[in-house]
Structure 1
C-alpha cells in the first residue's frame, strides 16, 4: 500500500490521533489509539479494525517491527510515515517501537461471550484505575480465565493505560462491559457459583471449590463492592493479612484468586 509522509506536528490527522488520549474523544470518535508492536499485533490477532498507521522509519529497525509492518501493509489501513518529532507527539510514554495505530472501537457485549462448560469467570465492578484493570486482564489471561466482565466501568475499556498494562490481552472477545443487573442475570443463567472478595468476612479464599463453574467478583479499592453483590447466593471470601494493612491491591488479590482456581483445576 502507498505510504504518505507527514512532517508537521500540526497535521490534522496527527492532531485527531493525539486527541484519542482523552476518554471523551475516544467516545466521540468511536476510535482508540494503540502503541507498541506486541499490543498492535494482538489487536490484529483479535480482529480489531485498524484504520490508520503512523510509523517512524528510523525507529522501525527490528525484525519484529518489520513483520508487523508487513501485516499492516496487507490491511486496509491508511499508512503514514512520520518524522521522529511527529512520532514523539503521537507515542504514549517511552515507546521506541516506531509504530502507532488508530482502530475503530469494537462492540464488546456480554451477550456474545462464549461460555464453556464449567467456566471460570472474572467480574470487575467499578474499578477506577485503568492500570489495575489491565493488570487483572493480564493475570486472567495467564491463569486461563474464560471471560472477564467489567461492570459499570469507571474507565473506558481501551484506555491506553489499560492496553499497556494488559499487554494487549484487553482485545480478547471474551472481555466485555455490562451493568450489574445484566451480569447477575447471565451468571445465574450460566449456573455458576458466585464468590466475592471481601476483606471483612471470615471465610478464607482457600475454603472454596474452584473446580466447579465459578465467577470471582472484585470491587474497587476505594469503595469495595456495591450492594448488588450482597446477596444470599454470593459467598464472601478474604485473603489472610498478617501485617497492618487490611487488604491487598485489587490486581494482586485477583491474581491470587485466579491462580488458586488454576491450581485446583489442574
Structure 2
C-alpha cells in the first residue's frame, strides 16, 4: 500500500489546493470529502470516489476498504499530512477524493408533482448546509441555488450539510435561468418576501411547487418578486420582521409536506 508521510509531497499540496481554491476544484473536476458518514452518503448519492487517504491509528485497512466499497486507490498518511488536509476540528481519520457532478438545471430529473426549494444567493455556508439538511429531511424533489456565491463543493458547504449535499438533487443557475426553468415546467412559484405578501398557510402547495427564499439581509430580488405566482409571508408576533433563512424555509417546506399528506 502506498504511504505518504510528508506534508510537502506534491500530491498532498495539490489536495490542499482542492480544499482552498474553487478554481482547482473546477479544473480538476474533483473535491475532498472528510468523514466516514459523508463518504458513505456520497457513495449512496452516486458520487464516484477516486482515492481514500486514511490515518492508520484511527482506522484499519479493512475498515477503509469496506468504506471504499470497491477497488480504488487507498493511501496511508501520517498525522502531519492528515492535519494539513483535515478541515474539521473533530477528526475521523479519513478523507476521500471524489469526482464532481454536473449541477446543470437541464440534468434535474423531476416527477409529475415536484416540490422544490429555491434559494437565491445564500451567503453563509452554514445556512446553505442547514437548507440542504432540511431538504433531505423533507425528501424534496430538488434544491436549486440561484446566483450561488460559491461553488457547491466548497469544504464549508460539504461540512455544514453533514453529507446532505450528496443526498439531494441539486442544480444551480442564474436567477433568470431558474425562473425560466420553473416556468417551462409549469411549476407554481411562491416567493417568501415581506412585500405585497399573503400568509403562507393560506396557499395550496399540492400542485407542482417551488418555494423560494432569499438572504436574511436583503431578501429576494425584485426579479423574483415579479416572477412569483404568489408572494408569501410567515406572520410574526414579536419585534423582528425576519428569521434565519433555514428556519423560514423549514416552516414553508413542512407546511407543503403537511398539505401533501406526509
Q: Same fold (TM over 0.5)?
A: yes
Root-mean-square deviation over aligned CA pairs = 1.9
From the superposition, tell whether residues 189 and 70 of structure 1 become closer, same or farther in structure 2 (CA, over 3 Å).
same
User: Residue 232 and residue 16 in structure 1: after superposition, are their counterparts in 2 closer, same or farther (change >3 A)?
Assistant: closer
Residue 198 of structure 1: CA displacement? 0.6
Q: Does 1:184 align with 2:183?
A: no
Shift of 1:190: 1.7
- Counterpart of 1:74 in structure 2 is 70
Does the CA-based 8 Å contact 1:6-1:83 persist in structure 2? yes
2:236 alignment partner, one of 238, 241, 246: 241
Cα distance, 1:66 vs structure 2: 5.3
Paired with 1:128 and 1:75, the residues of 2 have a C-alpha distance of: 38
- Equivalents in 2 of 1:232, 1:122: separation in Å? 15
User: How far apart, in 1, do the equivalents of 2:130 and 2:246 lie?
Assistant: 6
Aligned match of 2:52: 53
User: What is the TM-score with the length of structure 2 in the denominator?
Assistant: 0.92
CA contact (8 A) 1:144 1:262 kept: no
Task: Give the number of equivalent residue pairs.
Answer: 260
Cα deviation, residue 230, structure 1: 2.3
**CA contact 1:41–1:68 (8 Å) conserved in 2:** no
Q: Tell me the TM-score normalised to structure 1 length.
A: 0.91
Q: Superposed, which structure 2 residues align to 1:211-230 within 5 Å?
A: 211-230=206-225
Following TM superposition, where does structure 1 have runs of at least 4 consecutive aligned residues deviating by more than 6 angstroms?
A: none
Unaligned runs of 5+ in 1: none
Identify the match of residue 6 of structure 2 among 5, 8, 13.
8
Asked whether 1:159 is paired with 2:154, we answer yes
**3-state SS of paired residue (2:198):** coil
Give structure 2 stretches of 5+ with no counterpart: none
